[in-house]
Every structure is written in structure tokens, then in C-alpha cells.
Chain A
Amino acid sequence: MANVIEAEGLKRSFGDVEAVRGVDLTIGEGEIYGFLGPNGAGKSTVVKMLTTLLSPTSGSARVFGLDVVEDAGRIRLRIGAALQDASLDDKQSGREILTMQGQLYGLTKSEIAQRIDELSTLVEFEAIDRWIREYSGGMKRRLDLAASLMHNPDLLFLDEPTTGLDPSSRARVWEEVRALNSELGTTIFLTTQYLEEADELADRVGIINKGVIVGEGSPEDLKRSVGADVIQVRLADTGDSASHIIDHVTRVEGVDHVERGPNGLLVSVSNGAAAVSPVAVALDGAGAQVRELTLRTPTLDDVFLELTGDRMEVGQ
């Protein structure tokens, strides 16, 4: 599998602020790569560098083997991107936006008409001649996606494609992303702050926090790194006794590690069913007032907490 994206030591500063502090990436052809991180983690800055919109302060990046600074023009012919906040012109119609997009990519009139027809399930036929300001948020996102697909790109960047969408529109975008990848082999670089989205779509996930990739792997591998199962403990009041309780629980056989979580503890265990009772006993022995105790499989949120010590905070 050839590498479509290769980045080494990619950095970008804005004045004194280091938005991206040394990112290494290798993404293969046909992959869906999920780039996960909270608001302000540096996701969009990385996307802007890889899509040639922004030059790196230092480090290098190659897309299809072409340097993002030296060969920007050739890269642009092969990539498509739907950036954050559907970037459209409210006073144009959907057809006008798509036509202009086709013209900028050198498509002929008949090719543009053919392409609009092919993308017609993304942009409803009855809406395509209406001004974009009359579109709903979901329709704008889908038109933005259609615009980024007009020239049949081999690599598609989707920067938080479903942020702010209702569940039904989100599901529709997910369906389209999966289809693009599985049917056409389009490589997809997807940034998201939704753990569920990365889990659902990505073959591999890179977790970025404060401008640095802190973890990378398939969602399953990442989750496995936390432990086979997670016991989520909600406590009435952790107060000053939290460390004492954590010490007690950590000593239980089968417990991999214990993290302080929201309103309680997250206990990673190799065998949840076997560990629930001993953990409950240890909590009781430590004098913890347990409100709720839940056994579940780990999520990417647990991975994020494990790697960064913080919960993902999703911005709107």
C-alpha cells in the first residue's frame, strides 16, 4: 500500500503560539484516517498544511509524494477538502457553486453536468437551484461535500464534517464517507471531535492534543490499550479520600489501572465479569460511598483520558 500522506516533524506557530508542535504522519492509500482531538488541539492547522493552504513553520509534508510547499498546484488537482463550517457563498445557488467548482478544476460543460448529476443524491434536486442561504445546516454540509468531490479527488480531507449536524444528517454523511472509501478507494483524512465518529468510520485514529499526536492506532487497538473492560464507578463524594480509594482498588487482582474520572473512578480490568465483585468489596473496604457501578467496554474517550489525563470536551 503506497503512502498518500507523509509528514515529519510538522510544526506551525502563529506568533508566539505553537499550534502544531511536531506531527509525524503516515497515511496509506485507501485508508480512512480519523484525526481526533478537542477544540484547539491543532487538527485544522494540520489539515490546512496538508491541503497547501498554510506553510509549515518547520518540518515537511508530502502528499502523493509531492511536497506541500513546492508542488502545491499539483497536489490541489488530486485532493478535495470540506473544511470546517461549510465554506459556501450564500448568494449563489447549489448548481452555481458546483459549476464554478468544476470550471476551476478544468472540467468541460458536459463533464460538469455529468458530475452534478452523479452527486445529485448529496444535493437534493429540488434544492440545487435555490440560493444557499435557504439551505439547512445539513444541506449546506452535503453541498460542501459535493463541491469537494466535483473533480473526483483521490484524497479527501473532511474537517469536522458533522459538527453541528442533527443525527440523521450525520448518519447520511457517514454513509457517504464509507461508500466513497469502500466503493471508490478514496483515501479519507477526517478530523473530528466526536469519539463515536472516529470509532465508526476510521481504520486508524490519531489522537492529537495541544499540537502533538499522543496516540495512534486502530480504534480497537487503542481501546485495548486501556484494558479489556472498564468499571465505571460513580461516587457520592470523592473528597480528600480519592487517593486512598484508588490505592485500595489498584491492589485488587485483575485491575490494570485506576484513573480519576468524572464524578468518580474508571477502573481498567482484564476481565470485567470476574473483577466487578472484588472491586466492589475494595470500594466498600475503602469507605467509598458508591452511587453507581457500571461494567462496560472501553471507549475512545477512555483512551483520550488515559493518554492526556483529561476528558475530551466537545465544543459547539
Chain B
Amino acid sequence: MSSTTATVTKRAHSTLQAKPSGFMSDIVTVAKRALRAIPREPEAILPALFIPTFFYIVNIGALEDLTESFPGTPGFDYREFQLATGIIFAVTGISRATALVTDIQSGYFDRLLLSPARRLPLLLGLMVADFSLVIALCIPVIVLGLVLGASFGTGVLGVAMFILIGASWGLAFTGFPYAIALKTANPGAVASSFLLFFPFAFLTSSTVPLDALTGWMRTIARFNPITYVLEGMRSLLMDSWDWATIGKAFLAIAIVGVISQTLALSALRGRVARG
């Protein structure tokens, strides 16, 4: 019997039928693939580990003595102050957007679109993987902070909330690179989406406290959502839970998330319609 006849004979007995797998199942399927791919692309993850630890150490080396000697700030601990900055640098811009561009260019995205899966899970699945990854990326930075003497007055739950705020910010920001990926299908454009982060990252209290910023910079920083995210995270290093500050952090994350995810969904609709 030829190999083809054997294949077909076997196939002929197959009675299975395709059926919609469900919204959540599609998210899990897409997320599992994305998570599988992460350790296979260490070159995409290593900078995300290096950059935050580099900035954390360098900022401490450069500014610790100066900031701790500010008049009127007794007990100020710059190592704790910088920990939130390190997390923000670790989680911002981390996404599977470049992999999505590769999928679009290779035609694999079309294969996914040909399946009965709804379109939204194809994006949400990637974001679930991103969320898992940014949580993982927070851990080495926090460990480094603890090793260098930072401590969480709010305890283990405070650490968990610290990670949750950081990871939620990372997730909120992913909409931008995904929107660019879906709109342009250009890896260069996606890579430069990191530039979007610059005004967020530096026109804020990332290196020195808000009150120590010069006048114009302080004004801009007050409109920068990252300022509130950083303050929310830093509040967890204090001795008690400051729910108002934490609430403002989540509100800032929600505002950025709504804008970025709206852009991403609109780009997804455009990509699907363009074919």
C-alpha cells in the first residue's frame, strides 16, 4: 500500500468536526504559544533585564548622596525611591509586538485569522503572555532592591501590590507597540515605539522627588501619569497602606490603558479589514 493511500484510509475514518473553541480557550491557546516563544528568544528579554538594573544601580551611584542630603527630607531612602523607577523601566514596552510583526510578514497571522477564533483573543492572548512576562521581570529588580537594603513597610502583600501596579502599567502601555505593529507591520517602527516611553519616563519624578524638580518640569510631571504610578508604588515602601495614592496610580494606568488599547483595537480592526 502506498503511503498516500495509507494516509487517506486513516483520514477517511476520521469523523471529527471543527467547532468554535470559545473566547477564553482561544486566549489561552494564543498565550501559551507566546509564552513558549519567550525563552526561545533570549535576545528579546536580556535588554529588559539589563536596562532596569543598570539604571537602578547607576542612578543610586549618581544621586543617592545628593538626594538624601536635601534639606527637609530626613529618613529619605533613595534606594527605595529608585526601586519603583527600576520596575517601570523593566516593564514598559515589553510586548510580543515584534513577534506579531513577524507573524504578519510570514503570513502566520493570516493562518490565525483563517481559524474560527474571534479576532480579539488573538491580541488578548499576546497581552496575557506579556502580563506574565512583566511580572517575571519585576522579580529580579525587587530582589536587587532588597539586597541593596530596600524594605516594604506593607509586607509581602505590599510586594504583591507593588508588582501588580508595575505589571498593570506594563500591560497598559503594550497597546502602543501593538497598535504600531498592526498598523505598519514594520519591525523598525515597533522598535522605535520605545521612544514613546521617553517623555513618560523622564518628564516625571523618576530620578528625584517631585518637589525637587524645577518649576516647569514639576508642572509637566504633574500631568504625567507615570508620576502617579511611581507614587503609588513608592507608597507601598512606607509603613502603612495609602489607598488614595494607590487609587490614583490605578486611575493613571486605566487612562493610559484605555487610550493605548483603543488604538490597538482600532489597528486590529484595520488590519483585519485590509487583509
Contacts and interface: CB of A to CB of B under 8 A. Distances in A.
B107 A151 contact: no
A183 B13 CA distance: 11
B20 A179 contact: no
- Indicate the member of B18, B20, B26 with the most A CB atoms within 10 Å: B18
A79 B113 CA distance: 12
A52 B118 CA distance: 13
Nearest to A178: B4
Contacts, number: 130
Interface residues on A, range: 35 or more
Contacts of B113: 53
Contacts of A183: 5, 8-9, 11-12
B45 interface: no
Interface residues of B, number: 44
B251 interface: no
Contacts of A89: 33, 37, 102-103, 106, 108
A100 interface: yes
A91 B37 contact: yes
Interface stretch (A103-111, A161-169, A200-208, A215-223): A103-111
A132 to B, nearest CB: 10
Given A76-B115, A179-B5, A53 B275 contact: yes
Interface in B205-232: none
A180 interface: yes
A55 interface: yes
B47 interface: no
B33 A87 contact: no
Contact of B36 (A78, A88, A92, A120): A92
B40 A48 contact: no
Q: Nearest 9 pairs between A and B by C-beta?
A: A87-B107, A54-B275, A151-B18, A106-B19, A106-B21, A105-B18, A183-B8, A104-B115, A121-B7
23 contacts: A53-B113, A54-B274, A77-B20, A77-B116, A79-B114, A84-B107, A88-B108, A89-B106, A91-B37, A91-B41, A92-B33, A92-B36, A103-B21, A103-B29, A104-B29, A105-B18, A105-B115, A106-B20, A107-B18, A115-B16, A152-B18, A179-B5, A179-B8
